[in-house]
Structure 1
Amino acid sequence: MGDRIQETARAAVRRYGRTYAEEAGIQLGDRPAPLYQLLVLTTLLSTRISATIAVAAARELFAAGYRTAPAMLAASWQDRVDALGRGHYKRYDERTATMLGNAAELCQERWHGDLRRLHREAGSDVRALRRLLTEFPGIGPTGADIFLREVQVVWTDVAPYLDRKVVSGAKRLDLPASGERLSALVGQDDVPRLASALVRVSIDAKAAEGVRAEVSGRS
């Protein structure tokens, strides 16, 4: 039974372990530009729109050069709307363009465009990190979860970070729902990828079926 649980976790990583940051072309590192790009992606993912469209819109914003808080601020509101539109992020484009501008202003004025400062202020207190993240326009508790789930790749003091969607996905695959036990199944380095996989499983029953089918095929 233990071997099957471990193989289930590893199959989930193989099938669905690509993070949203990777899909958006963000080379995530503990540096101002990629951390800001993750904040942008988180804002887009926080709206009631598909993850595929949110990722596409993020790629369009980055392709337009809006990869840092100063660059986003320098763009006009219409520039941001147009980039979002190219990513087919049209239902919420105008409101989101405004939020991105306001968030960039907050990032620049309070954190000097460098979210490492936010991390340092919070220390290792995850609740403080969540609270500071929700001060950005467009990012609520769910958005803070998305950011922390993704950033744990580089902010290792946050790991293992499991939000409700990760736990839901783990339960759907009959995996343990604790960070310590999940880490033991795949290794600490792959916990962020497992978290990403379990989010997909939590929102797509077919993803869970695919993981189970792969495990059964290897049995």
Structure 2
Amino acid sequence: MSDKNQNVVRELLDQQGTTFASEAGIKLRNTPGPLYQLLVLAHLLSARIRSDIAVAAARALFDAGMRDPRRMAEASWQQRVDALGEGGYRRYDERTATQLGEAAELLNREYRGDLRRMREAGDPRKLLREINGIGPAGVDIFLREAQGVWPEFAPYFDRKALEGAERVGLPRSARSLGRLADEEDLPRLAAALVRVALHADAAREVRAAA
């Protein structure tokens, strides 16, 4: 890796390298609770809404006790709507409340509430799409963050992360980007690249510091 690329990656990780899962209070591990919470966050982030609102809404759902598929399914539709509203997720709250309930019921029925069983059953890139509310963007967001605990998907840099790479002068190739950071830092690098893709000021600050 060139010295310039090393400097850019270092600044990305230093300035913007908090994963969205960490921002939402999720201590990501390969266990049922954190994986489900990441799925909920990916669902919320995939809507056309600011990422900080999606993160706040995820925190509100978790604070209200909806931290696993059983509790999400047991919550009433109104409880889900109220939690989403508390997080500021009002534009899509009613539809999303319905989708979260249906998604939790599917996970409970098909995988006993454990996304690791989905991983064992087949390709999560396909099976995640069967969950109501999880489209291509949701799959990308989930695997972008989960690559740290599901390493068979690393390096995972989706289109938005690759846009960020181009903005700060890094290679626009998942394989090339995967060689620029240690394996444990790949989710952080992906999150940082998404942030500089979304915020031009952040990209300028990274390039100036590098």
Give the TM-score band, short-chain normalised.
over 0.9
Q: How does 1:84-163 map to 2 (within 5 A)?
A: 84-122=84-122, 128-163=123-158
- 1:213 Cα deviation after fit: 1.4
Question: Does structure 1 conserve the Cα–Cα contact (< 8 Å) formed by 2:160 and 2:194?
Answer: yes
* Deviation readout 1:52-108 (Å, 9 max, x if unpaired): 000000000000110000000110000101111111111111111000000000111
CA–CA distance in structure 1, aligned partners of residues 61 and 83 of structure 2? 5
- Out of 175, 178, 181, which is 1:183 matched to? 178
User: Is 2:164 aligned against 1:169?
Assistant: yes
Partner of 1:22: 22
Q: Return the letter of the residue paired with 1:92.
A: Y
Q: Percent of pairs identical after alignment?
A: 56
Q: How does 1:38-57 map to 2 (within 5 A)?
A: 38-57=38-57
- 1:162 Cα deviation after fit: 1.2
CA–CA distance in structure 2, aligned partners of residues 171 and 44 of structure 1? 26
Partner of 1:73: 73
SS in 1 for 2:152: coil
Q: Which moved more, 1:180-189 or 1:12-21?
A: 180-189
Q: Return the letter of the residue paired with 1:193.
A: R
* TM-score, length-scaled by structure 1: 0.93
CA–CA distance in structure 1, aligned partners of residues 93 and 174 of structure 2? 36
CA–CA distance in structure 2, aligned partners of residues 187 and 165 of structure 1? 21
Q: Return the letter of the residue paired with 2:198.
A: I
Displaced runs of 4+ in structure 1, greater than 4 A? none
User: Is 2:41 aligned against 1:3?
Assistant: no
- 1:131 Cα deviation after fit: 1.3
* Deviation readout 1:142-168 (Å, 9 max, x if unpaired): 110000001111111111111111111
Partner of 2:194: 199
Q: Return the letter of the residue paired with 1:12.
A: L
- 1:207 Cα deviation after fit: 1.1
Q: Return the letter of the residue paired with 1:206.
A: D
* Deviation readout 1:164-210 (Å, 9 max, x if unpaired): 11111111111123334323322222111111100111111111101
CA–CA distance in structure 2, aligned partners of residues 189 and 34 of structure 1? 17
CA–CA distance in structure 2, aligned partners of residues 187 and 179 of structure 1? 14
CA–CA distance in structure 1, aligned partners of residues 203 and 41 of structure 2? 25
Partner of 1:125: none
Unaligned runs of 5+ in 2: none
SS in 2 for 1:185: coil
CA–CA distance in structure 2, aligned partners of residues 3 and 63 of structure 1? 44
* TM-score, length-scaled by structure 2: 0.97
